């Protein structure tokens, strides 16, 4: 299969490319990425140095001419859109780039895919499009839940999802969406909670917990997400959305405690800071649809996934020390 991957130098995209080649070594993959601060071509150095049929093009998904030219030359069987601005905190200080990349960029990809008659289009979304949830709410978000985004990031991703559905309904584009819970694992830029806490712990620095530290998230190991994307790409029904979650919920306080314990670091490293504006309390997905229709199941337990993540960051200090310098947000400054 020939895959045109956008945002393949980012966290989830690079893990997907690695997982895909492991599962389908005869695939041909073109990675189209602008290499913004969170994109790192070194994330795929092992793939670059292998015999895999892999190529890279540096490009902006908002650049219709370049996207269409690249699609025409490569002739993919499918486009998978991982490209996105994805950090809520950064969206507070630079909202325009989120609407440009996540909305205009996605629509540009859709239009180019339509004009080039690409057989398949898959879009990666986030649980945050559904909005906030009470901490004691018993009913998780299903694919039929209304979209109620509350932050710039959430709103931009919700808009992108609507564009994908519109292109399916109006133009017949064979498109699907996966809405995933919070991912974690190797190669995640250390602006997100787990790698931020981990890298601070390794440097003996304070870890910044928002004062509402009992807010919860659902945690999904990145490789489990990658396997879900494969199943939807191969078997998903056109025009459908599939939630992808683990049902494993942990609060910020839980995560901090687990990381301090596994690294044998003292509780005194915890520091409580003001919540960012618009901080949601909780997201939880009902993933029964993808399980029933496609047979997907997450296979990585939280303790196992967290241990693997800690081990990777411990062994790749040079990687995270270099990328940490590019972080555009100070989480202690709200």
Question: Tens digits of per-residue pLDDT, 300-330?
Answer: 999 999 999 999 999 999 999 999 989 898 8
pTM of the model: 0.96
Could you tell me the two tokens for 185?
């694992």
Q: Three-state SS for 176?
A: strand
> What does the pLDDT read at residue 275?
85
> What does the pLDDT read at residue 315?
98
- For residue 241, how far is the Cα from the chain centroid? 16
pLDDT tens, 178-231?
999 999 999 999 999 999 999 999 999 999 998 888 899 999 999 999 999 999
- Mean pLDDT over 281-299 rounds to 97
Name the CATH architecture for the domain at 2-183+222-245+279-299. 3-Layer(aba) Sandwich (3.40)
> What does the pLDDT read at residue 9?
98
Domain borders along the chain are 2-183+222-245+279-299
Non-local (6+) Cβ contacts of 127 within 8 A are 141, 179, 180, 181, 182, 218, 243, 245, 283, 284, 285
d(CA 308, CA 15): 14
d(CA 123, CA 68): 17
> Which pLDDT band, with edges at 50, 70 and 90, does 61 fall under?
very high
Q: Which residues pair with 221 in a beta bridge?
A: 184
Neighbours of 137 (CB within 10 A): 12
d(CA 110, CA 133): 31
> What does the pLDDT read at residue 3?
99
């Amino acid at each position: 299969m020939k895959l045109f991957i956008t945002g393949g130098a980012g966290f989830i995209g690079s893990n997907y490319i690695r997982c895909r080649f492991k599962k389908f070594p005869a695939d041909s993959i073109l990675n189209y990425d602008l290499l913004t601060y969170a994109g790192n071509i070194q994330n795929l150095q092992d793939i670059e140095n292998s015999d895999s049929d892999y190529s890279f093009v540096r490009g902006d998904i908002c650049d219709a001419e370049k996207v269409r030219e690249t699609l025409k030359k490569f002739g993919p069987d499918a486009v998978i859109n991982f490209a996105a601005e994805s950090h809520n905190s950064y969206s507070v200080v630079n909202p325009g780039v989120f609407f440009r990349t996540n909305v205009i960029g996605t629509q540009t990809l859709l239009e180019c895919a339509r004009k080039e008659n690409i057989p398949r289009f898959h879009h990666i979304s986030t649980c945050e499009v559904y909005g906030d949830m009470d901490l004691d709410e018993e009913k998780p978000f299903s694919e039929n839940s209304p979209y109620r985004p509350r932050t710039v990031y959430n709103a931009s991703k919700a808009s992108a999802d609507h564009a994908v559905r519109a292109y399916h309904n109006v133009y017949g584009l064979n498109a699907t969406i996966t809405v995933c819970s919070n991912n974690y694992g190797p190669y995640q830029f250390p602006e997100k909670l787990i790698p931020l806490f981990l890298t601070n712990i390794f440097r003996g620095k304070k870890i910044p917990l928002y004062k509402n530290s009992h807010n919860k998230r659902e945690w999904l190991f990145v490789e489990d997400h990658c396997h879900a994307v494969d199943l939807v790409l191969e078997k998903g029904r056109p025009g459908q959305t599939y939630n992808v979650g683990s049902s494993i919920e942990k609060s910020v306080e839980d995560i901090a405690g687990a990381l301090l314990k596994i690294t044998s670091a003292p509780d005194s490293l915890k520091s409580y800071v003001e919540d960012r504006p618009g901080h949601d309390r909780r997201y939880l997905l009902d993933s029964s649809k993808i399980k029933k229709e496609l047979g997907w199941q997450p296979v990585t337990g939280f303790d196992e996934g967290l241990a693997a993540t800690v081990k990777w960051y411990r062994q790749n200090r040079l990687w995270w020390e270099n990328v940490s310098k590019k972080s555009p947000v100070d989480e202690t400054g709200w």
